[in-house]
A = this chain, B = another copy of it.
């Protein structure tokens, strides 16, 4: 079969270089914002001309969309545990562990974070967060409005932690694995976010918030 062999004997395979581009782009978007990543940078990483990037992905926006959203495979936020162990699971995201799943989860958040303030990428990021991150978390929590709110609080901590880590170089650390004290507090924060709401005023302390 001719077409099959074309795939097999790929000396110059478009799919391979395309994948390489996507990978290079991911690494770039992971470290810089949407505008600061140039198509020429990506092309240079792969060892290819700029024009090819534009041709393969149509536009920079679509390339970014494919990096963030994935194309065909449904690569959403992965949660391998039930609601009970969720706090542990989330806390573990900030350890420097080699867990592939966890690393991808965190990396997705960092990409979101880096390009979140960018007129061009904003819409894409917005959609990807709701569909690929917020929804999966809410699903694990059982759905419903309460679940959505709790998911939002969890994401608040995750994003805050990601900012502190990758931008401020404090908090959840930068040198692989946060200090134990911070790790513990982070865990407690997740617990609080996941805990059911005290329903109305549980104590007097809640009231003077205004």
Residues of A near any B CB (own CB < 8 A): 32-33, 35-36, 85, 87-88, 91-92, 113-119, 122, 125-126, 129-130, 134, 146, 149-150, 152-153, 155-161, 163-164, 167-172, 179, 181-189, 191-193, 195, 197-198, 205-206, 208-210
Given contacts A149-B181, A152-B171, whether A113 and B209 have CB atoms under 8 Å apart is no
In the bound assembly, the distance between CA atoms of A186 and B19 in angstroms comes to 41
Main secondary structure of the interface of A (DSSP, over half): helix
Q: Could you list 8 examples of A-B contacts with CB < 8 Å?
A: A33-B33, A87-B209, A92-B210, A125-B167, A152-B171, A155-B168, A159-B160, A191-B205
Given contacts A149-B181, A149-B185, whether A161 and B167 have CB atoms under 8 Å apart is no
For A92, list chain B residues within 8 Å (CB).
209-210
In the bound assembly, the distance between CA atoms of A46 and B9 in angstroms comes to 62
Known: A153-B186, A155-B160, A188-B198. 10 other contacts (CB 8 A): A87-B209, A88-B209, A88-B210, A126-B169, A129-B168, A156-B160, A157-B157, A158-B160, A159-B164, A188-B195
Q: B209 touching A91 by the CB < 8 A rule?
A: yes
Given contacts A35-B33, A36-B119, A208-B85, whether A171 and B156 have CB atoms under 8 Å apart is yes
| Interchain nearest-CB distance for A126 vs B (Å) | 7
